[in-house]
Structure 1
Amino acid sequence: MRNEMMHRPIVNQDVLDYMRNEQKPLTGKLKELEDQAHEAGVPVIPHETVVFLQFLLKQLKPKKVLEIGTAIGFSASLMAETLGEAAHITTIDRFPVMIEKAKKTFETLELTDQIDLLEGDAADLLKELTGPYDFIFMDSAKAKYITFLPECLRLLNPGGVLMVDDIFQAGTLFHPIEETPRKNRSIYRKLNEFLEAVTKAPDLTSSLLPLGDGVALITKDE
C-alpha cells in the first residue's frame, strides 16, 4: 500500500520536512490514526495537506461535503472534526477492506452520525447523487479523475470548491511519456488530460499547489 510518489518530493526536501514535521499536529484519536497510518505505510494525506485542508475548510465553512475515495476514513474524519456537527460528509469507496477499516474509524471517532459511507464504484454512485455539495474532495484512482470530473462539477454548488489530491505523480507527468514505465502510462495520459481540462477550461478557475504529490483547487465560474 506504500505510495511511492509521496517519497519523491516535488519541493525542496528541507521545505517539505518543515511543512510535514513542524506545523501544528493533530490531537486525540485522529492523531493516533494518522500516526498508525504512517507507521503501517497506509497512504493517507500527508501532514502538510492536513494543515492546508483544515485551514481551507475553516474559511469555506461548507455544510455539505462529498469525498471520493474513503480509504481508512482518515480524511473524512479530519473534515468532520474540523467542521463540526453543522456539516455532513458523504464519502464513497469500492474496496471492501477499506470500507471495513473506514467503518471502524468512524465508530472509534464517534462520527457515524456525521458521515455517510456509500459502498460501490464512484462512476455509478456519482450519477445517482443530486447534491449540491459545497466542497468535494477527490482522492481516488488517479486515472479516473478525468472520468469523475464532469459529475463532480455537476454536483458542485456555485461558489463551491473541488479539491483534488495527488495530481503530479512526483513531477513525472511532465517528462516524455517514453520515460514512464508502461504500467503507469495510462495514469500519465489521464492525469495530463485532467490537468489540461481544469487549467484551460474557460468556465473553470483553478490553482495547483505543491502539497504532497500535488493538489488542485477548482471552482466553477458563475
Structure 2
Amino acid sequence: MIVNDRVTDYINSLERSRGPLLTEIASKARKERVPVIREETASFLISLVEAKRPAAILEVGTAVGYSTLLMAGAMPEKCRITTIEKYEKRIPEALQNFERAGESERITLLPGDAGEILKELTGPYDFIFMDAAKGQYLVWLPEIMRLMVPGSMLVSDNVLQDGDIIESRYAVERRNRTIHGRMREYLYELKHTDCLATSIVPIGDGVALSVLRERVR
C-alpha cells in the first residue's frame, strides 16, 4: 500500500454501502482475482464524475464492469459510457452486470484491443478513465488526447505500482521492469505536456488526474 494501511482501513470504514449488486460484483471479482479498483479509489472516481457532470465517458479497461457501473451511478441521466475490454472471458460477465443494473442502454462495450479501437473513435469525451494494461498508457496517450476537448478529465489508475514507481528499475522484479520504465515515462509526459494540468494522487494504487487546458500556456 502507498498510504499507511491503518489510514486506508479507516477511510474505507467510513464508506456507505454501494448497494447489494455492486457489493456482490466487487466481492466476487476480488475473490477471483479480477482487477477492479480499490474502494478508496472508487470513492474518488465517483466524486470526480459527480463534479464534472460529463456528457460522454470513455473507459479503457472494463473487466467485469464494476468501475463502469460506479460511474454510471454518478453521471447525469443523458450521459453515455463507451468502455473497451480485450479479455474475451470477462465480456459476457460485464454485459450481464450492466443488464442486471438496468444500465445496458447507457453503456456500450467495445470488445477488442484498445490500441486499435481508440484509432476508430471520434469522441469527444469529457471524462476518460484508464484502467487497463499499464505498459500501454504511454502508447495510447496521443489517441486519448485526440479524443479530449478543453476541460476534459483523464483519470489514470494504478500509476504508482504499489510504490514501486519510486524504485530504481534494478530494484523491481525483472518481469516488471518494462512496465516500470514505461509508467515513469507516462507520468513524466503527463506532467510536462503543456496542454495538460496533472496531479498525481497517492490514493489506492496511485491515480493521475489530468485536465486538458483551454490553450497552451
Q: Normalising by the residue count of structure 1, what TM-score does the alignment of the two structures yield?
A: 0.92
SS of residue in 2 equivalent to 1:31? helix
Kindly report which structure 2 residues correspond to 1:86-97, keeping only aligned pairs within 5 A, or say none.
86-97=78-89
Paired position in structure 1 for 2:169: 177
Any stretches of 5+ residues in structure 1 without a counterpart?
A: 1-8
State the 1:166 CA deviation: 0.2
CA distance in 2, matches of 1:79, 1:137: 10
State the 1:35 CA deviation: 2.5
More displaced stretch, 125-134 vs 83-92: 83-92
Paired position in structure 1 for 2:131: 139
CA distance in 1, matches of 2:137, 2:12: 26
CA RMSD of aligned residues (A): 1.2
Paired position in structure 2 for 1:163: 155
- Pick aligned residue for 1:17 from 3, 9, 20: 9
Kindly report which structure 2 residues correspond to 1:30-49, keeping only aligned pairs within 5 A, or say none.
30-49=22-41
8 A Cα contact 1:21 1:47, kept in partner:
no
CA distance in 2, matches of 1:132, 1:81: 21
State the 1:189 CA deviation: 0.8
State the 1:84 CA deviation: 4.5
CA distance in 1, matches of 2:104, 2:125: 19
AA aligned opposite 2:149: N
Q: Normalising by the residue count of structure 2, what TM-score does the alignment of the two structures yield?
A: 0.94
1:55 and 2:47 are equivalent in the alignment: yes
SS of residue in 1 equivalent to 2:37? coil
Paired position in structure 2 for 1:5: none
Any stretches of 5+ residues in structure 2 without a counterpart?
A: none
1:73 and 2:49 are equivalent in the alignment: no
CA distance in 2, matches of 1:125, 1:146: 16
CA distance in 2, matches of 1:140, 1:115: 18
8 A Cα contact 1:20 1:46, kept in partner:
no
